[in-house]
Amino acid sequence: PRLLLLNGPNLNLLGTREPDVYGSATLADVEDLARTTAEAVGLELRTVQSNSEGALVDAVQAAREDCDGLVVNAGAYTHTSIALRDALAAVALPFVEVHVSNVHARETFRHHSYLAPLASAVIVGAGVQGYAFAVQRLATMLAEQSA
Ligand code: DQA
């Protein structure tokens, strides 16, 4: 089984971007953590990061061909993108939504997610460890599915 780790806009700047909010781990650190966590439970991991909404939609659509679930941190598109929500609804794969920061402790425009109603789980405010939790949750769900 294979997971897609999808990171949206500005997450390429992790580690240097507002470190008081997002910490010091880089995107490469996040991808390594997610891959190590996935491989430990027998899953493959593909990673995509894009700053473009359309590229994220394309990546979700492509996941239908060869992935079994997704970990999604859509960054600010979480709060704006009906297109990304529609793509996730269309592929109908289980996904876990992750936010490094506790969005509920921040500006009110970050409190609403277009994606959350479709998500299997939402993990916010756990720092980059949230990505590892998300991978583990999907591994459990996929194991239960195939049992
Ligand atoms: C974020 C939270 C979003 O509100 C913000 O736009 C981001 C990062 C997070 O991981 O905490 O880009 O998704």
Active-site residue (options: 22, 77, 114, 131): 22
CB half-sphere exposure, 125, CA atoms < 13 A:
7
- Give the N- to C-terminal CA distance of the chain in Å, as an integer: 14
Residue 54 has a CB neighbour count (10 Å cut-off) of 10
The answer to whether 112 is a known ligand-binding residue is no
Q: What is the fold of 2-146? A: Rossmann fold (3.40.50)
- d(CA 147, ligand 1 centre) in Å: 35
Please give the model's pTM, rounded to 2 decimal places. Answer: 0.98
Q: Which atom of ligand 1 is nearest to the CA of 98?
A: 10
State the ipTM, two decimals.
0.99
* pLDDT tens per residue across all 147 residues of the chain: 999 999 999 999 999 999 999 999 999 999 999 999 999 999 999 999 999 999 999 999 999 999 999 999 999 999 999 999 999 999 999 999 999 999 999 999 999 999 999 999 999 999 999 999 999 999 999 999 998
Segments making up each domain of the chain, as ranges:
2-146
99 flagged as catalytic: yes
The answer to whether 7 is a known ligand-binding residue is no
77 flagged as catalytic: no
